[in-house]
Amino acid sequence: MRRLLIFQIILICLVTAVIGVMFGLLAAKASLFGGMIVLLNTGLMMMHERRAAQRAGQDAQRILKYMYLCVVERLILVLVLFAIGLVALKLLPLYLLLGFIAGQLAAFLNGISH
């Protein structure tokens, strides 16, 4: 999981740097915020994974409910952070999405390599 986080950070930084050079500082800020959404989402998933591992001796149905809770929390986190980025901070939507996609692509590529 630590490898995933490092890979995400590297890819998000690269994409943000390219966007910053090509489209300017406002676009880079939006891209970085989109990437940070993914990093916070990954961090939340890592926290839940550690807690689930600690509860490994418990009932399987209870652990499954806990993992469903993790999915719901992650979805809410992403929606709230997108709303903050788009509405409150008025970030550029395209570049916000590109930063988010870069982080998700890193997770996808990390999953393929395993």
With both helix axes pointing from N to C terminus, report the angle between 93-113 and 25-54 in degrees, rounded to the nearest 10.
Answer: 40
pLDDT at 114: 62
Q: How far apart are CA 75 and CA 69, in angstroms?
A: 10
pLDDT at 1: 77
pLDDT tens sequence across 37-85: 999 999 999 998 888 878 767 777 887 888 899 999 999 999 999 999 9
Of 42, 22, 27, give the one whose Cα is nearest residue 106: 42
pLDDT tens sequence across 82-106: 999 999 999 999 999 999 999 999 9
pLDDT at 59: 79
The domain in which residue 80 lies consists of 2-113
| Tally of structural domains, the chain | 1
pLDDT at 89: 97
User: pTM here?
Assistant: 0.90
